[in-house]
């Protein structure tokens, strides 16, 4: 997948959202061919390989190129910055796909969490709505935790990028911000624990690689506070219990995604029970072959 195009979405002052391909440390703007991300998703229908080739050619022909570091500033209308790699798409998420996630959900549950043990081994996976564009932030933007929760954690996840025909388009990095005490009090509170302002971070872009196999990669999570590391962990994607075709099958049952969809595939890194996020913590999630997603934490 190392030769696959890495598609990003970014803000340019006076022009708004634009698309580019990141090659090394240089962004090649491709908005002349693909004005919006939704165009990429729709143009890939039935021919993902052809779309990927077209994106690569657009990058080859690009007359606007600039250092990716130009985007490394907090989001503001008057400065270039990273945007989340979605526009009209929804973000959904799968839960309890790693053994450590099952254990963590049982640990936080007030009733012992038998429901999580059962869903880990069940035929049907847990899949739930996570975010729309209004609740999703990009690389170097601020991700939020709930003001009415006392136990908040990031959940680092590999994201599947899927077109409207439920064909794999590629991979991204996601942070499924979660309130463990709210979900733990009652599983029916999951939407409140998971869906709120700035509760989802995606980025820095999309690796256009339509594989139906899990990439052999390590997912790493680092959390720093005041410049000091307060948590670090990692997990391999080979620990995911479900297959990509299995998750896409259930995601697409009795549902349609006219602009495409993102599916976060579960968290296998769980901070200890005595850990909770604080304002201004910095969360960095990295996945081999994709890059790193970094966000400062705020209370919302």
Tell me the pairing of strands 291-299 and 261-264. Answer: unpaired
Residue at which a domain ends, from 25, 59, 83? 83
Q: Is residue 77 part of a domain?
A: yes
Residue at which a domain ends, from 53, 83, 113? 83
Structural domain count, the chain: 2
Q: Is residue 1 part of a domain?
A: no
Residue 196 belongs to what domain range? 90-299
Q: What percent of the chain has pLDDT over 90?
A: 91
Q: Does one domain contain both 136 and 216? A: yes
Question: What distance in Å separates the CA atoms of residue 56 and residue 246, rounded to the nearest whole number?
Answer: 30
pLDDT in tens, 56-83: 999 999 999 999 999 999 999 999 999 9
**In contact, 140 and 153? CB cutoff 8 Å:** no
Residue 216 belongs to domain with CATH number? 3.90.850.10
Q: Does one domain contain both 106 and 162? A: yes
Query: What's the pLDDT score for residue 109?
Result: 57
Q: Does one domain contain both 13 and 121? A: no
pLDDT in tens, 4-15: 999 999 999 999
Residue 123 half-sphere exposure, CB side, CA atoms within 13 Å?
0
Q: Does one domain contain both 148 and 289? A: yes
Q: CB under 8 Å to 27, separation ≥6 — which residues? A: 8, 10, 20, 21, 65, 66, 67, 68, 70, 71
Dihedral, CA of residue 198, residue 202, residue 203 and residue 209, to nearest 10: -170
Q: Does one domain contain both 78 and 127? A: no
Q: Does one domain contain both 76 and 137? A: no
Q: Does one domain contain both 143 and 70? A: no
Q: Is residue 44 part of a domain?
A: yes
Query: What's the pLDDT score for residue 3?
Result: 84
Q: If DSSP codes are grouped into helix, strand and coil, which group holds residue 44?
A: coil
pTM equals 0.95
Query: What's the pLDDT score for residue 262?
Result: 99
Query: What's the pLDDT score for residue 108?
Result: 57
Q: Does one domain contain both 164 and 110? A: yes
Question: What distance in Å separates the CA atoms of residue 155 and residue 161, rounded to the nearest whole number?
Answer: 18
Averaged pLDDT score across all residues of the chain: 95
Q: Does one domain contain both 113 and 199? A: yes
Q: Does one domain contain both 123 and 26? A: no
**Could you tell me the mean pLDDT of each successive run of 10 residues in the chain, 300 residues long?**
89 98 99 97 98 98 98 96 98 90 59 75 95 98 98 98 98 98 94 98 98 96 99 96 97 98 97 97 98 99
Query: What's the pLDDT score for residue 42?
Result: 96
Residue 46, exposed/middle/buried by CB under 10 A (0-12, 13-18, 19+)?
exposed
Query: What's the pLDDT score for residue 100?
Result: 64
Q: Does one domain contain both 16 and 139? A: no
CB atoms within 10 A of CB 124: 9
> Using only C-alpha atoms, what is the Rg of the chain?
18
Q: Does one domain contain both 57 and 94? A: no
CB atoms within 10 A of CB 188: 8
Query: What's the pLDDT score for residue 94?
Result: 97
> Between the CA of residue 136 and those of 88, 104, 120, what are the distances in Å?
11, 25, 27
């Amino acid at each position: 997948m190392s030769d696959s195009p890495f598609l990003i979405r970014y803000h340019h002052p006076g022009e708004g959202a634009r698309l580019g391909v990141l090659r090394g440390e240089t962004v090649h703007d491709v908005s002349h061919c693909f004005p919006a991300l939704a165009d990429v998703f729709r143009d890939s229908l039935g021919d993902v390989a052809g779309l990927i080739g077209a994106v690569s050619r657009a990058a080859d022909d690009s007359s606007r190129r600039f250092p990716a570091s130009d985007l490394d500033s907090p989001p503001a209308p008057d400065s270039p910055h990273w945007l989340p790699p979605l526009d009209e798409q929804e973000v959904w998420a799968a839960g309890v796909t790693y053994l450590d996630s099952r254990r963590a959900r049982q640990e936080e549950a007030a009733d012992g969490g038998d429901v999580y043990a059962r869903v880990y081994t069940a035929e049907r996976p847990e899949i739930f709505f996570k975010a729309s564009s209004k609740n999703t932030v990009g690389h170097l933007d601020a991700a939020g935790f709930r003001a009415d929760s006392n136990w908040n954690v990031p959940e680092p996840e590999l994201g599947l990028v899927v077109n409207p025909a439920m064909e794999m388009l590629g991979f991204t990095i996601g942070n499924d911000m979660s309130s463990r005490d709210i979900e733990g009090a009652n599983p029916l509170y999951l939407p409140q624990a998971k869906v709120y302002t700035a509760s989802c971070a995606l980025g820095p872009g999309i690796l256009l690689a339509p594989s139906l196999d899990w990439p052999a990669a390590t997912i790493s999570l680092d959390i720093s506070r005041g410049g000091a590391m307060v948590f670090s962990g990692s997990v391999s994607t080979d620990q995911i219990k479900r297959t990509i075709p299995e998750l896409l099958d259930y995601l697409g049952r009795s549902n349609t995604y006219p602009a495409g969809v993102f599916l976060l595939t579960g968290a296998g890194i769980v901070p200890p029970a005595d850990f909770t996020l604080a304002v201004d913590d910095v969360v960095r999630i990295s996945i081999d072959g994709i890059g790193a997603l970094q966000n400062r934490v705020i209370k919302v």
